């Protein structure tokens, strides 16, 4: 196969180095599932093969291994997923739920207590959530009036 062109540049932009990440679809795993540490490790196995190709090509064309070294460092601790998630806020809940709970807290056994302490620690948290729930009710009523179907994210 010969690569002829790369299409659809409408999202192209200049980003800080940490947000320059390799394709996350190498293992054909959804982003939601990549939030699981074991799926990310699975991805890295294939990524390392990809990285070896990049390293060889870089050496051959530019006489250095800048990108390969950079990505080899940035892949640690789900680094590519954090970059992706920061730019896609709806993934934050998945990532925190599936990866950080396990990595930092060893699981979810104490999760209800952590949530309770967090909510109690700042009264504005409860106020915000109450507003969200009230908003949901008025949103649903409005949607029903318009004949739509509610599909909360």
Q: What is the binding site for another protein (CB under 8 A)?
A: 1-20, 23, 25, 77, 79, 82, 85-87, 89-90, 92-93, 95-97, 100-101, 104, 114-115, 118-119, 125, 128-130, 132-133, 135-136, 139-140, 143, 150, 152-153
Shortest separation between residue 130's beta carbon and another protein, angstroms: 7
Among candidate residues 88, 48, 87, the one with its CA nearest the CA of residue 71: 48
Q: What does the alpha-carbon distance between residue 100 and residue 110 come to, in Å, rounded to a whole number? A: 13
Shortest distance in whole angstroms from residue 52 CB to another protein: 20
CA–CA separation, 136 and 152 (whole Å) = 9
Question: Measured between alpha carbons, how far is 100 from 94 in angstroms, rounded to an integer?
Answer: 10
Shortest Cβ distance from residue 38 to another protein (Å)? Answer: 18
């Amino acid at each position: 196969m010969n690569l002829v062109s790369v299409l659809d540049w409408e999202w192209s932009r200049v980003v800080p180095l940490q947000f320059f990440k390799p394709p996350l679809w190498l293992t054909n795993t959804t982003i939601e599932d990549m939030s699981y540490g074991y799926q990310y490790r699975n991805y890295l196995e294939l990524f390392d093969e990809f990285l070896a190709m990049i390293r060889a090509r870089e050496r051959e064309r530019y006489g250095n291994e800048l990108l390969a070294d950079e990505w080899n460092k940035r892949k640690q601790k789900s680094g590519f997923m954090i970059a992706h998630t920061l730019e896609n806020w709806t993934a934050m809940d998945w990532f925190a739920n599936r990866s950080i709970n396990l990595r930092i807290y060893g699981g979810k056994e104490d999760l209800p207590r952590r949530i309770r302490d967090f909510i109690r620690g700042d009264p504005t948290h409860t106020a915000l959530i109450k507003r969200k729930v009230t908003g949901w009710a008025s949103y649903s009523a409005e949607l029903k009036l318009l004949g739509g179907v509610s599909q909360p994210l």
